[in-house]
Structure 1
Amino acid sequence: MLTIVMVEHILSLGQFITTEVAMELTTRQTDRTAGVLLGQACGDALGVPYEFSAPPVSDPEMRGGGLGPYAPGEWSDDTQMAVCIARVAATGADLGAPDALDQVAAAFLDWFDGGATDVGTQTRHVITTTLGGPGGGPLHAVMTDSASELYERTGRAAGNGALMRTAIVGLSALTNRDATAHNARAIAELTHADPLAGDSCVIWSELVRRAVLTGEIDAWGTLSLLPTERRGQWAQWVRDAIDDPEPKRHSHNGFTVVALQAALAAVVRANRSYDGPRAVRAGLNGAVLAGDDTDTVAAIAGGLLGALHGASSVPAEWRRIVHGWPGIRARDLVRLAVGTARGGLDDRRWPATGRMPYAGQGDAQRALAVPHPHDREVLIGTMADLARTRELGVDAVVSLCRLGTDDAPAAGVRPGDHVEMWLLDSERPEDNPHLDAVLDDAAATIESFRSEGKRVLVHCVAAQQRAPSVAARYAVRRGIPRHVAEADLKRALPRIRGAGLLWRTALGTEVPTATKGP
């Protein structure tokens, strides 16, 4: 049970009413939690090819290159530094405590020595000064002092390098907005001493926290967390981004304020026209098209878009290839984000357990692997079949249920060829808020694998609802009449449910709607 502090605000009067409401982290909140680092990383990788160069003439692509140079789908320092923070937060550490700040500072130094592919000017100066200094005192204090010295000497320390990594901090204290703000500013000040850098991180981390809990943007509610003397100026900056949400108006976005405006404009503009996967695509496209520091603005926007719309809204084609330092992929980002939100990873629960406890669930242990009646190189199976990929000659997998850390990638399957979809076997529309889009994305992923000549296993726990439903959508996309697809699949898989929300939606006989909220 989590106690969530819900805050209603009346900004113009400066009055705040706080009510504590006991609630559990819902399925949708877990989805949104999982989307934070994932959305950031995908935005980062989409922006990499266009950083400080001509923006794309059409939708951006994860084609690599940039200042790295980076491989296609590889994220840059924006997400690398966020991962440094997440690896500490996912242990259950209190990010605002001195020992945790020491761990984050040490992680930054290790990253700089062993993994940094690109380092911002201010961050580089602070880290090299910390490494070359006399030491003494807690590491986080030494690093913070180095940042303060740079600011006092130059008056220039409000770059976007703290803001770019702060989305994960929004998950560090979901029940406490003040603690979130404290954590955000403390971590920002490790490298960026200008108060505006800290302010921007407080705002963005709170936006993420609120989005995960409610699925909504509450930009005005963040301002009460700032010092009184700067609220008016920030209100004007936020209003400028929201009233005319055109990211291209904020192209000089190396400055933390302008970077926040560009990212916020991209998110607000997308949300006014779209929901779910379409909003994520539109928001990240807009962030990249803002130009200049494209990977950073898109990474910032992606963290909030993921918090608003969830991992279920991040396209599989992106999740399939996104990767980066320190040798991790999409599923690892989900694990770190959920671990942070839960106050630490628990190896007895998803997403940290080695194997999911499906053994007692009906046909989960029954080997099946039935060829799709309209494409025999697509096998419809169970968890038992996931353990038989070599035997089955499978070289690509689409998983439709939660997996343990030892389950993926499947034996003989490359990491990028094992895609996990966020799909629940539920009759509640709110559990699958983007059900039609997810079914379509899963079927499109099978099509993509097949176009590459791969043999595909599509499976859930027991092949009774999710896998047959995706198989039905795959058939419909191939032009098979709905009634034919339905009859053929029921004949090939006589034990499937063949009814219910997922099945009807897959066949196009129902389009579910889910309301916003927890």
Structure 2
Amino acid sequence: MTRALTTLLSLAAADALGAATEFKSPERIRAEYGETFTDYQPGSVFGFAPGEATDDSQMVAATLLGYGRREGLNGVRTALREWLAAGPPDVGILTRSALGAGTLDGGVRAWQASAYNSAGNGGLMRIAAVWIAGFRGAELARESAGVTALTHADPRCVYASVFLTAWLEALDGGQAYGAAAESALKLTDDFDARAALLDAGIFGVDTREAHTAFRDRERGARAEVRARVRAGLGGHLTSQSGYVLDTLEAAVRHAGADTWMGCVQPAVLLGDDSDTVACVVGAIAGARGLAVPPGLLPALRLGHSWPGWERRWPCTEHLPGVVTGAQRP
């Protein structure tokens, strides 16, 4: 419970730091903020105030509120739709389309409408919620696949999420950074996400074509996830774009530093989709047990109101209840 809560606060604080630099170039960031970035700053393109976390952390919290309904994936989907209906300022196109469908297979249908090309990071950025809610082992992998596919059904997105939550579990269990990643990659290679999505009712009779597309692409998706994780472990970074594998690789590269700020600050300073990369880095740093600088916690808020959460609420006061309510009985 303690590690789950600290991980949630960690990813939200990292997200809030990245909010000011999102979609900006490294050159502009350094000109505007200087060579270091260790406190919340103004300048968010979506109007988030200093200390407010973005849609990334909001969707993590909404997912946890969904688990509190005790309705499985349908409860998560309902909670995410309530968040979307409240008009958050920063929502990805695929997320909006998938949740707008109002069905469990909305993510599959949105992926199909993209001609099976869309593989954004909107599932990866919120998937730590599944581990925070207390899923472990094989159930963690199955649930991670299902929660991701609610909005992002491309196998690259699904297997990236399966890897990340397995990695969080291994890191929390005390494995070293690289060894934990290799352990999570083995689980990812062995996991049958397509079967999990069929069992969950996300693939069905009406989405046979998408099921075939997933089947034809999943072996390659596993290989791409493996390659990007190992590239990140080796210090490589392709970009901080919104493409799911770019985000994953960047997070792997950044999150191995010795301190929380050493992990998060490079993601913030590189800009582009910095809030999402920082959010994923924050989740990894939290699972490792790295402490958020205490000065960042009092001002931390989520930058939107929706059923179950008010924008003015301090995260340190209200997220503990969200985590408790989401825990598996």
Same structural fold, with TM-score higher than 0.5 when normalized by the shorter chain: yes
Aligned to 2:261: 281
Indicate the SS of the match to 1:188.
helix
In structure 1, give the amino acid aligned to 2:73.
Answer: L
Aligned to 1:298: 278
Q: 1:287 to 1:90 in 2, by over 3 A?
A: farther
- Aligned pairs for 1:126-141 within 5 A: 126-130=98-102
What's the C-alpha RMSD, in Å, of the aligned pairs? Answer: 2.1
Indicate the SS of the match to 1:221.
helix
Quick one: distance in 2 between partners of 1:90 and 1:127? 19
1:172 aligns with 2:133: yes
**Alignment length, in residue pairs?**
282
- CA shift at 1:115, angstroms? 4.8
- Aligned pairs for 1:3-402 within 5 A: 30-55=1-26, 56-57=29-30, 58-60=35-37, 61-90=39-68, 93=70, 99-130=71-102, 142-144=103-105, 146-153=106-113, 154-174=115-135, 176-214=136-174, 216-217=176-177, 218-227=180-189, 229-230=219-220, 231-244=222-235, 249-268=237-256, 270=257, 274=258, 279-310=259-290, 313-324=291-302, 325=304, 326-327=309-310, 328-331=313-316, 332-337=318-323, 340=326, 342-343=327-328
Q: Percent identity?
A: 27
- CA shift at 1:173, angstroms? 3.7
Indicate the SS of the match to 1:118.
coil
Kept in 1, the 8 Å contact 2:119–2:157? The answer is yes
- TM value normalised by structure 2: 0.79
Quick one: distance in 2 between partners of 1:333 and 1:212? 20
Quick one: distance in 2 between partners of 1:160 and 1:334? 26
Q: 1:115 to 1:209 in 2, by over 3 A?
A: farther
Gaps of 5+ in 1: 1-29, 94-98, 131-141, 345-518
Q: 1:89 to 1:208 in 2, by over 3 A?
A: farther
In structure 2, give the amino acid aligned to 1:292.
Answer: D
Indicate the SS of the match to 1:181.
helix
Deviates more, 1:192-201 or 1:327-336: 327-336
Kept in 1, the 8 Å contact 2:110–2:151? The answer is no
Q: 1:225 to 1:215 in 2, by over 3 A?
A: closer
Kept in 2, the 8 Å contact 1:171–1:209? The answer is no
- CA shift at 1:163, angstroms? 0.3
- CA shift at 1:236, angstroms? 1.8
Structure 1 or 2, whichever has the larger Rg, is 1
1:330-355 C-alpha deviation (Å, 9 max, x unpaired): 32224433554x535xxxxxxxxxxx
Quick one: distance in 2 between partners of 1:65 and 1:109? 28
Kept in 1, the 8 Å contact 2:25–2:270? The answer is no
**Taking CA–CA contacts closer than 8 Å with sequence separation of 6 or more, which of the two structures ends up with the larger relative contact order?**
2
Deviates more, 1:279-288 or 1:111-120: 111-120
- CA shift at 1:243, angstroms? 1.1
- CA shift at 1:252, angstroms? 4.2
- CA shift at 1:90, angstroms? 4.7
Q: 1:90 to 1:36 in 2, by over 3 A?
A: farther
Quick one: distance in 2 between partners of 1:215 and 1:329? 32
- TM value normalised by structure 1: 0.51
Q: 1:214 to 1:88 in 2, by over 3 A?
A: farther
Q: 1:336 to 1:308 in 2, by over 3 A?
A: farther
Q: 1:120 to 1:299 in 2, by over 3 A?
A: same
Indicate the SS of the match to 1:161.
coil
Quick one: distance in 2 between partners of 1:80 and 1:223? 28
Q: 1:52 to 1:206 in 2, by over 3 A?
A: same
Kept in 1, the 8 Å contact 2:7–2:282? The answer is yes
Q: Choose between structure 1 and 2: higher strand proportion.
A: 1
- CA shift at 1:46, angstroms? 0.4
Quick one: distance in 2 between partners of 1:224 and 1:339? 32
1:396-451 C-alpha deviation (Å, 9 max, x unpaired): xxxxxxxxxxxxxxxxxxxxxxxxxxxxxxxxxxxxxxxxxxxxxxxxxxxxxxxx
Quick one: distance in 2 between partners of 1:83 and 1:106? 13
Gaps of 5+ in 2: 191-218
Kept in 1, the 8 Å contact 2:66–2:77? The answer is no
Quick one: distance in 2 between partners of 1:150 and 1:117? 21
Q: 1:243 to 1:338 in 2, by over 3 A?
A: farther
Deviates more, 1:257-266 or 1:281-290: 281-290
Kept in 2, the 8 Å contact 1:241–1:265? The answer is yes
